[in-house]
Amino acid sequence: MTHFSATAAEPLTGITAAPLSLFLLGATGRTGLPFLLQALARGHFVTVYVRTISKLPAAIAVHPRLRVVTGELHEADKITLAVRAATPDVVYVMLASERAPHTAVSTGTHNMLFALRALKATATGEPGATPFISIAAWGLGPTGAYITGLFSRLFVNVATTLFWSKPLADFETQLVEVEAAKDAGLIRPTLILPPILTERAKTNSYLSGEPHLMKDAMGVTNFVSRASIADLCLKLGERAASGEAVPQWVAITNP
């Protein structure tokens, strides 16, 4: 397995040599939209599945390498048709479960996995596991053990009590399905673990890497911009699509 070092990000510049087919849930979100813009600028083909097309900037909605499909996350057949048409090299989940009914992340993931299963059931030959990249949060999965110290634990407890308990429960539901799909050889998952998100511009100075390398740089009150997360997700997707092993858990923060 590749071990990323917790070092500064290398810039992504220019048009990629190998345009990919990317499938994105959450394109109208504050991370999904910068990701979409960056992916198109890199020369990739992107299929987005959104519930409200008017939330995409008009100039982007007509981009020649963008396919927009509208539907709700629970409409598994619609997602399946969209995934089949895209035959994606990498799939992305940039949804948020912070609003009622607090199930967007797990529902979108469930039906994305349903669609990939359907796609692989009719594939010729031996279909490989699809890279699957989704945004979680520092403290989830194996990183719960890294939330140490009185202040950090208090901060997380207060945040969970006030607004985080339902999104957190939905992430846990997602993770169970993601693990099962990984074990079944359906996907190669990468879960991104940021601290607090900001609307600032993308930087080339963010730190990213496997949690055990990043734990001393991370903190529950650290920040990182959504645009920098988009940059990291694009870079990891390109690496995974080229066959490179990408870690299942990748933390990101500003220095």
Contacts to ligand NAP by CB under 6 A = 26, 28-32, 51-52, 55, 73, 94-96, 98-99, 104-105, 135, 137, 167, 194, 196-197, 226
What CA–CA distance (Å, rounded) separates 88 from 183? Answer: 20
Show the DSSP H helices in the chain as ranges: 32-41, 58-61, 76-86, 104-121, 150-159, 165-183, 211-214, 226-241
192: tokens are: 């991104």
Report the residue number whose CB is nearest to ligand NAP: 29
Whether the Cβ atoms of residue 78 and residue 39 lie closer than 8 Å to each other: no
79: tokens are: 């997602």
CA-based radius of gyration for the chain: 17
CB of 128 to ligand NAP, least distance (A): 27
CB of 116 to ligand NAP, least distance (A): 19
Whether the Cβ atoms of residue 75 and residue 85 lie closer than 8 Å to each other: no
CB of 210 to ligand NAP, least distance (A): 18
Rank residues 104 and 113 by Cβ distance to ligand NAP and give the closer one: 104
CB of 17 to ligand NAP, least distance (A): 29
Rank residues 183 and 199 by Cβ distance to ligand NAP and give the closer one: 199
CB of 135 to ligand NAP, least distance (A): 4
15: tokens are: 């048009």
Q: Chain centroid to CA 100: how far? A: 21
What CA–CA distance (Å, rounded) separates 182 from 131? Answer: 10
Rank residues 51 and 153 by Cβ distance to ligand NAP and give the closer one: 51
What CA–CA distance (Å, rounded) separates 49 from 83? Answer: 9
- What are phi and psi for residue 251, nearest 5 degrees? -90, 155
What CA–CA distance (Å, rounded) separates 76 from 55? Answer: 22
Rank residues 16 and 173 by Cβ distance to ligand NAP and give the closer one: 173
Rank residues 86 and 104 by Cβ distance to ligand NAP and give the closer one: 104
CB of 87 to ligand NAP, least distance (A): 23
Rank residues 57 and 185 by Cβ distance to ligand NAP and give the closer one: 57
Quick one: which of 237, 229, 189, 244 has its CA closest to 89?
237
CB of 187 to ligand NAP, least distance (A): 18
Rank residues 1 and 59 by Cβ distance to ligand NAP and give the closer one: 59
Whether the Cβ atoms of residue 132 and residue 88 lie closer than 8 Å to each other: no
